Structure 1
Amino acid sequence: MKHFFSIIGGMGTIATESYVRLINHRVKINKDQDYLNYILVNDAQIPDRTAYIKDHSKPNFFYDLKEDVLGQAKLNPDFFVMPCNTAHYFYDDLAALTDVPFLHMMRIAVHKFVEDFPKEEKIGLIATEGSIYDHLYVDELKRVGKKAELGGSEIQPMVNELIYTDIKEKGIVDHDLYHKILQTMHDKYGCNVILLGCTELSLAQEKAPDHPYNVIDPQSIIADVSIELALKIRNGMDPKEATKKYMYK
């Protein structure tokens, strides 16, 4: 197969399925051959990311990801994409394993926020406890001179219920709960824009987009970027040249 990219997924599987569905349905097609070429590694056995980030005595998820990246690197994909926000805890270590361009979903999303909402000084952040605990998005926002609003103590339990109880355990999206979280961040904490810092939250946005709030959805953004890059490379652009604009430092 020529000109393909590798997806490091399975964190979780339903969220990865959402990313794949987005790239399949957003690319413009007239025939089968217009779809994108990709290899999906749906490694559902990768240990829980938040558990390790909060407690290093828990299984370290880096080694599973390392094995997946090295295995795919042997096939020489045009670029890597990893549709899991919390797994970017090990982004630098994973990207160092290969010369293949490795997109940073979180960084790309933050720059999209700056481009689309240049006058906003802060963004509401809802995410896994792992991402919050290790300041993954907070640090990325600081890089570009913006602040993250995390809301009060009532926010994280609602987010956890939506991510873990509803989506990961039951495979459903509670529309009302998702909208309540967005409304609370907007009305109570003054967030004109809300960042969906977990791909399960991106799935909630896909399934329940009927709300009036501005969101930055990293999975939706990386899906569009994946399509853009894959088509440029298919049309003859060098992969490193094509991805250069998104390799933010």
Structure 2
Amino acid sequence: MENFFTILGGMGTLATESFIHTLNQRTEAHRDQDYLNYIVVNHATIPDRTAYIKDSSLENPELKLIDDIKLQSRLAPKFFVIPCNTAHYYFSELEKATEIPILHMPRIAVEAIATHYPEAKRVAVLATEGTILTGVYREELKAHGYEAVSPSDVLQEKVNRLIYQEVKENKNLNFELYHEILSDVASEMDCEVTILGCTELSVLYDAYDLTKEFNIIDAQAETIHRTLVMMGKKDLEDDK
């Protein structure tokens, strides 16, 4: 197969499924051959990223991610996409394992702020505790001149529950909790933009369009756009 890219997924599987579905929906295609060539690696047994970040005595997912990168590099994809924000904590080590470009989801999300919300200064980040603790988004936002604002402990608990108990554990897209969280951000955090920095939150973003009510940057949606651009395809979302 020529002219293809590789998706390193399974973190989690529903999020990977959402990435693929949205990518296909946004690809301009009138026949089978118009869709993109890609390989999906759904490595669902990679250890939990946040669990390891919070407790380094647990199994380190980095080693398995590096193995996947090395193995898939033999097939020579154009680039890699990793639809898991927390996994980008290991980005620099993954880059060292291959000469093939890896899209940096948090960086792509932050770069999109200037396009969608050029007046923004303070940016709220909703993500796993692991992503918040590692500062993946905080560093990118600072580098681009934004102030990163993290949720309170109470709000983070709600985000944790939505990601882990609702989406990951029960496959439940809890609209009420999702809307409550975004409302809390709007009323409590004094931010112009909210980044959804977890692909489980991206599943909810795809299911419920709240962009007219809240200023949202979805990291997965922006990475899908970048993927289409890099593959020379029109993004149908641009017509909306």
* 8 Å Cα contact 2:53/2:130 also seen in 1: yes
2:111 paired residue number: 111
Following superposition, the deviation at residue 113 of structure 1 comes to 1.1
My pick for the range that moved more, 146-155 or 82-91, is: 146-155
1:244 paired residue number: none
Instruction: Quote the sequence identity (%).
Output: 44
Distance 2:186 2:230 in 1: 34
1:138 paired residue number: 138
Question: Counterpart of 1:196 in structure 2: which amino acid?
Answer: L
1:45 paired residue number: 45
Runs of 4+ deviating beyond 2 Å: none
TM-score (norm 2): 0.94
Distance 2:28 2:190 in 1: 38
Distance 1:57 1:23 in 2: 37
1:83 lines up with 2:70 in the alignment: no
TM-align CA RMSD? 1.1
Matches within 5 A, 1:227-238: 227-231=228-232
1:217 lines up with 2:215 in the alignment: no
2:208 paired residue number: 208
* 8 Å Cα contact 1:124/1:149 also seen in 2: yes
Following superposition, the deviation at residue 115 of structure 1 comes to 3.0
What SS does the corresponding residue of 2:173 show, helix, strand or coil? coil
Distance 1:53 1:68 in 2: 20
Distance 2:139 2:68 in 1: 26
Distance 1:222 1:189 in 2: 25
Structure 2: where are the runs of 5+ without partners? 234-240
Distance 1:228 1:27 in 2: 10
Matches within 5 A, 1:87-236: 87-210=87-210, 212-231=213-232
Following superposition, the deviation at residue 166 of structure 1 comes to 0.4
Structure 1: where are the runs of 5+ without partners? 233-249
Following superposition, the deviation at residue 209 of structure 1 comes to 1.7
Question: Counterpart of 1:29 in structure 2: which amino acid?
Answer: A
Following superposition, the deviation at residue 72 of structure 1 comes to 0.6
How many residues are matched? 232
Q: Residue by residue, what CA displacement relative to the aligned partner does 1:79-103 show, whole Å, maximum 9, x if unpaired?
A: 1111100000000110111111111
Distance 2:188 2:62 in 1: 37
* 8 Å Cα contact 2:122/2:190 also seen in 1: no
* 8 Å Cα contact 2:121/2:192 also seen in 1: no
What SS does the corresponding residue of 2:177 show, helix, strand or coil? helix
Following superposition, the deviation at residue 227 of structure 1 comes to 1.3
What SS does the corresponding residue of 1:154 show, helix, strand or coil? helix
TM-score (norm 1): 0.91
Question: Counterpart of 1:220 in structure 2: which amino acid?
Answer: A
What SS does the corresponding residue of 1:231 show, helix, strand or coil? coil
Distance 1:210 1:117 in 2: 16
